[in-house]
Each structure stands twice: as C-alpha cells, then as structure tokens.
A and B are shown apart, each in its own frame.
Chain A
Amino acid sequence: MFEWSEEQLAIRDAVRRFVDEEIRPKLDDLEHGDLPPYDVLRKLYATFGLDQLARDSFKRQLERKTSGAEPPARAGRGEGSNAAMALIPVIEMCKVTPGMVTALGVSTGLAAGTIMKRGTPAQMERWGLDLLTLDKIGSWAITEPNSGSDALGGMRTTAKRDGDAYILNGNKTYITNGPYADTVVLYAKLDDGSDTDIRHRQVLTFVLDRGLEGFEQSAPFRKMGQHSSPTGELFLTDVVVGRDRLLGETEKESGGGGRASAKDNFVSERAGTAAMALGVIEECLALSIAYAKDRVLWGKPIGEFQLIQLKLANMEVARLNVENLVFRHIEMSAAGRSLSLAEASAMKLYAAQAASAVAMDAVQLFGGNGYMAEYRVEQLARDAKVFQIYAGTDEIQVTHIAKDLLSR
C-alpha cells in the first residue's frame, strides 16, 4: 500500500466534513473552556455507525470468549476491524484536536480493550459493551505520583485480601478521562500479608465504577496541551471490591496476569500514537505551505527563502516516513500480523519525535504569528509534545527497542 484506496479516501472525506462541521466550531470550548469531549465523540460514533460496528464486534468477541476460541492476533480493537478504518479518523481528528483522540483511545482502546481481552464473559457484558459504544467513558489507571516509566515496579496502590473481597488503597495520577470516567480499569499490587518486597508483588487488575465508596475522582488538571483530553487523579481509600471486579475473577496468572495485561496494550497504543503524529505532521505541513506562499517579506513570499524551504523539506521527509510506517502497520494488520514490541516502539519513537519537531518548526516558520493561538500551530506543537511522553516516553521506547535487539 502506498496510498489510500477510494473507499478509504471516502471515509477520510466524511470524517473531514464532520471535523469541519462538528468539532472546529466547538474547538475553543474544548481546548480552553472545559467542554468535555464525550458528547462530540458520541455524535461521531452515531453519525458514522461506529456504535453499531462496536456492538457487532462485541458480539463476536463475546462469542469467541464463551466458546474458548483463540483470541485475535491483534488486541484492543477487536476481530475483523479494519486498521485503516480505525486510523483514518485518528489522523483526521488529530489535525485539529489530538486531545479528543487521546480521550477516545483511552476509553475504547485501553479501558475497553483490557476488559475485552482479560475479562470473563460476565465482565465483558457488564462493562465492555458500554465502553466500546461510548455509552460510558473509561479510564485506564496505572501511573502513580512516584511511578511513571517504572509503573509496575514502583506501583504502591495495594489490594489487600479481605475474605473473598479486596480492600484497595492508593492513588493514581495523570489518568486520561479520570475526572469523568464511569468505568476505571485499575492496577494494584496484591497485599497477601507476606513480606515480599512490594516491587515484586503480583499485580492485579480491577474494574471500578464511578461512585464506589472511598473512590474519588479529581477535577481536570491544567496542563501544557491536549486540553480536549481531561486528565486527573484518582484516590482510593479503603475501597471494598468483590471478586466480580477482579478482571478474570481469579488471581491465577494465566496469560501473564496483571503485568502482562498492562503490556498487552503497548503495541496497539504505540501504533495508534504514530497515526496521531501523522495527523499533526500533515496539518502542520499543509498550514506551513499555505503560509509560506502567502506571507510576503522583503517583497516576496517567504517560501522563496531557502531557510524556509529547508523547514518545509524536513517536514515532508517526516510526513513520508511516518506515513510509510502507518501504511506498514495497516498492511501487516491486514495480513493478520502484529508489530513486534520493538517495531511498535521504534515506530512510536520516530513518529513522536518527528511530530514534535515538525510542529515546533511550523511555529518557527510562522514567526510571531506562530506563537498566536489564531494560527493553530502553537496548539499542535503543545499537543504533539506529549507523544514523546505518554504511552511510554522516548527513553522507554529506546530501552524496549534495545532490549529486543540485544536479545536476538
């Protein structure tokens, strides 16, 4: 694949129209007015029939789980889904509001994906369907104030056995959708009364509902970018949960347990982030080309100056490279193959750095105008920066790539 097909272009055009008509007019409220993104996302789902597609996908996944059939090769988005169909809206929306895509991806990808992969059929029905259709909003809570990149080892949130139940204590931070989530997939260390160092204790995965006694959700944080994605803290004070909220309803670590559950999402999350980066790069390049033709200094368009041309050329190199990586992922997915962790990490590392560099170059190319919100590139530059931080920092991607290379 070297270009989008006719059908894919039709999907792109339809999403573009939706972005123009439904998102751009609300962008100020979403980015600066604390308007949560969920109603717009629900409208997106209803408009394009994505809610019905999610119901169909849920049914297939549930049947497979009930019958004990093999899980799909690619986790997170469900069997039979088309990677291109999932990524095109991501790319298009990221041209305007990457934050909204983050909110969507965490709810339907990380939260729902984890429940659908690791949950029992009853848990899938209880929480999975509503998350997949966006009827409910989900969070995926692993990061804590003193553990980010060291999320599993440094985790201090505990689940203490209490008969057949557990008592949860601790807090989580930087949780996407945290302030508004109806359903939270939460990781905690098992406190079985032994003196095992907490770093090495078993990690369990729980599903919590908004309003549980002792479970508090903070107001949204103020942050650098991605304002359309509400981020917050979660506080757990003696939250009592039954085994029905323990994902898989067993402590037995078939399939690797909680630690593996957390890592399940790495590949799809990193590939998705690269697609998000592509949207930012495409938009920054398009805006920069238009500006370079239009802005006149010393009697000629600035696009005629070689220092500007260098910026445009570098942006185009980045666009081609990231697009090729995204196309490769789509091709592999269509062939039923998954990226290795090293491949997904390399893809995310390159794409995130490229998006940040391109967006900052766009700000520079626009000069003083680039620093102003009206010209939009400053928002994209702020939004792109987190691509290098969330879903594994650049530094973590490097270690994952290197570990894989050195283990061969």
Chain B
Amino acid sequence: MFPMNVVVCVKQIPDPAAPQSLEPGTHTLARSGKLIMDDSDAYGVEMALQLADAAGGGEVTLVSMAPGGETSGLRTALAMGAAKAILISDDALKGSDALGTAKVLAAAIKRAEPDLIIAATESSDGYTGTTPVQVAELLGLPSVTFAKSVTVDGQTVKVERQTESGFDEVTSPLPALVTVTAGVVEPRYPSFKGIMAAKSKPVDTLTVADLGLDASTVGAAGAGQEITDVAEAESRSSGEIVVDEGDGAARIVAFLETLKVI
C-alpha cells in the first residue's frame, strides 16, 4: 500500500443552463457571475477519490484557475471528498489561451507534488482539449489521454484508453497525467455532511507572482492566439414540406435514399 496524492484539475465555468454572453472587447466568454464545477471534471474528482481510497491513504487536491477568487465550483468537489484546493486567481490571467493556462496549472500542481494528475479530456466551455497534455509536457511527465478505466499498482498507472474501435491498454510510470472520459466512473453525490464540511476545507488562493511566473508569459499578454471576430452561426434552414399528391411515400423514400439511410 502506497499513500496516493492525486491532483485533479477542476475548471469552474459559467452555468451552461444560464444564458451566456461574450466579453465585447476580447470575444471571450463572460465569467463575471457565479461559476460552477465543469460537469466533465466530476468524473476526475470521483476517480481520484476512489484511487486514494483504494491506496489506503493520501489525499486529493484540486487545482483551478478562475477569476474573482471564485470557489463555488471548488466547494462542490470539496463536498464530494477532496481534501483541499489551490486556486489561482489574478486579473493578469484574463485572456489566457490554453498554453497560458497550462503554464499556470503546471506551476501550481508542482507545489502539490502529486503521484498522479487527473483532468477531463476537455472542458465544457472552451473545448480545446489541449490544456492537460500541455501541463504534462511542462512538468516533464508522461500523459495518457481518454481513459475509460484507471488503476494504480504500486508506482504504475494502468489505463484503458478509449479508441474508436475499442480500447488500448496503456501502462505508465508514476507520476503521470491522465485525462478521463465521462465513462470512467459514476460521480458520487456530495453528502449533506460533506457539503457542510466543504466550507471549512482549505483553499489556497495564489497569484501569478506567488507561482513565480512572469506575468508577460501568461494571460492576454502571453497568449499566442487572439479572437479577432465572432459571428453568429448560420441558422438552420427550414425543412422541406412534402405535400402528398399521391406520390408522398415515393418522395419520402427518395429523400431518405439521398441521405443513404435506406
């Protein structure tokens, strides 16, 4: 039995169920209101809790980057059972691209000295899907993506990596970074006791300077990408109405044949 310290990258995002807007100047998603834990991160938190439990010791630390000192989403994961969190919140991080975010997360994760880092395959707001592997690269760690199953055996992590036709069995030495799919485990509900306890769990809030990073390499200043314009997606055209003049069935069959569904 080895105590197992796991870091989970948790993104706090605007509630997808609420109306969204873009910042007028930067065209980035407005993040001024209350943020919630990205649903796709709940699987990573659950996986981490189960691995720490199976190891018979260790703890789960959350790492998140969010504006305004936001902790609402972190409290959800803390209520599930994570022990503590590191939050990086700094105005200088506004406008960060995926690589800038990865630099910040990697610097924070390093402080936690984890045996394993878990992240979602992609976030539900940005969908770049590139940040986790960038974090691994910056930390000089192996990364295994699209895990549908994760087990740890001593100093090795075994992953079933989802592919289009099945899965690959991948083994990696620890420490490593693994991205997990929504199928990896079923996230638990936080208990009432867990919810009440979450408010007193430690959240270490850090700035860019605290991490020893050069502010010019992160945020809008360090971003290698810029959103120059956004345009509304073309609305879907209305469907074709088939008026049955005796040949309705034949016309529907012909239509379905063009779609190659029959």
Q: List CB contacts (< 8 Å) of B183-209 with chain A.
A: 189-196, 198-199
Query: Cβ of B76 < 8 Å from any Cβ of A?
Result: yes
Are A7 and B196 in contact, CB atoms less than 8 angstroms apart?
A: yes
Pick the contact of B195: A7, A17, A50, A52 (CB < 8 A): A7
Question: Shortest beta-carbon distance, B200 to chain A, in Å?
Answer: 10
Is A14 in contact with B189, judged by CB distance below 8 angstroms?
yes
How far is B75's CA from A53's CA once the two chains are assembled, in angstroms?
21
> CA separation between A262 and B155, bound complex, in Å?
63
Digitize B130-157: 1 where CB-to-A-CB distance is under 8 Å, 0 elsewhere: 0000000000000000000000000000
A307 within 8 A of B: no
State in angstroms the CA–CA spacing of A380 and B190 once bound together: 29
Interface assignment of A85: CB less than 8 Å from any CB of chain B? yes
Q: Is the interface of A mostly helix, strand, loop or mixed?
A: helix
Chain A residue total in the interface (Cβ 8 A): 14
B79 at the interface (CB under 8 A from A): yes
Measured CB to CB, the closest approach of chain A to B206, in angstroms, equals 22
With A6-B199, A7-B199, A10-B79 as contacts: A49 and B72 at CB distance below 8 Å: no
Q: Contact between B75 and A52 (Cβ–Cβ < 8 Å)?
A: no
Query: Which of A6, A49, A50, A85 meets B194, CB within 8 Å?
Result: A49
Query: Which residues from A are CB-within-8-Å of B193?
Result: 49, 52-53
Q: What separation, in Å, do the CA atoms of A50 and B199 have in the docked complex?
A: 19
Task: Tell yes or no: A47 within 8 A of B by CB.
Answer: yes
Residues of A within 8 A of B192 (CB): 11, 14, 48-50, 53, 85
Chain B residue numbers with a CB within 8 Å of A390 are none
A129 CA to B192 CA, complexed, in Å: 20
- Chain B interface residue count, CB cutoff 8 Å, equals 14
B196–A18 contact, CB under 8 A? no
Q: A48–B191 contact, CB under 8 A?
A: yes
A104 to B: closest C-beta gap in Å = 15
The CA of A47 and the CA of B190, in the complex, are separated in Å by 8
| Contact between B72 and A6, CB atoms less than 8 A apart | yes
Chain B positions within 8 Å of A10 at CB level: 75-76, 79, 190, 195, 198
Tell me which residues across on chain B come within 8 A of A6, comparing CB atoms: 72, 75, 199
User: How distant is the Cα of A7 from the Cα of B79 in the complex, in angstroms?
Assistant: 10
B191 x A49 contact (CB < 8 A): yes
Which A residues between 1 and 44 are near B, CB-CB below 8 angstroms?
A: 6-7, 10-11, 14, 17-18
Please name all residues of chain A whose beta carbon is closer than 8 Å to the beta carbon of B198 when the two chains form the complex.
Answer: 7, 10
Query: A residues touching B (Cβ–Cβ < 8 Å)?
Result: 6-7, 10-11, 14, 17-18, 47-50, 52-53, 85
Q: Can you list 17 contacts pairing A with B, beta carbon distance less than 8 Å?
A: A7-B195, A7-B196, A7-B198, A7-B199, A10-B198, A14-B189, A14-B190, A14-B195, A17-B189, A48-B191, A49-B191, A49-B192, A49-B194, A52-B193, A53-B192, A53-B193, A85-B196
